[in-house]
Amino acid sequence: MNYIKTTIPDVWILEPKVFEDARGYFMETYRAEDFDKAVGYPVHFIQDNQSMSTKGVLRGLHYQKGDASQAKLVRVLSGSVVDVAVDLRKDSPTYGKYVAVELSAENKRQLFIPRGFAHGFQVTSDTAVFTYKVDNRYAPEAECSIIYNDPQIGIEWPITEEGEILLSEKDLNHAVSFEAAEKF
């Protein structure tokens, strides 16, 4: 596995070594000992989640506050997305900045998002199957959302035309501005 630093310390791109031949391919997607060594501390993932979405779907920017915060290791099994992590750590030199990475079945990349970040993604293919590991249980009482197009963050989403972006009712009507969001 190749661990690639991003412009925000603690957010990592993981590129697997892929072994291909006439039969297809094989790759290792996660090994706890190597992962913990690369990111610099132990991360104990407790659950895997998966979603399927169609082109233009934008999920996010989500996070859980306080002790319910989650670290995530995300990847795409089919299709492609642009995945985004926003730094909500008040004392961080990259506070309010974001990393955007294309994740696809083709490039087989993963993104590690530590606790203290909001997370979202937008589907750029006809459909995408998205999967991720988390290190903490889902706590609906701690769930928060920042509006995807907050001007203070300034995320450059790949699909921006009104009517082409598909949001949940919650992400459309209950997300708050970056300024109003609870930080870490």
Where in the sequence numbering do the catalytic residues fall?
62, 132
**Using CA atoms in the order 87, 84, 120, 129, what is the torsion angle rounded to 10 degrees?**
-150
Alpha helices in 24-181 (DSSP H): 32-39, 169-173
Distance between the two ends of the chain, CA-based, in angstroms? 30
Per-residue exposure over 3-37, b if at least 16 CB sit within 10 Å of its own CB, e if not: eeebebebbbbbebeeeeeeeeeeeeeeeeeebee
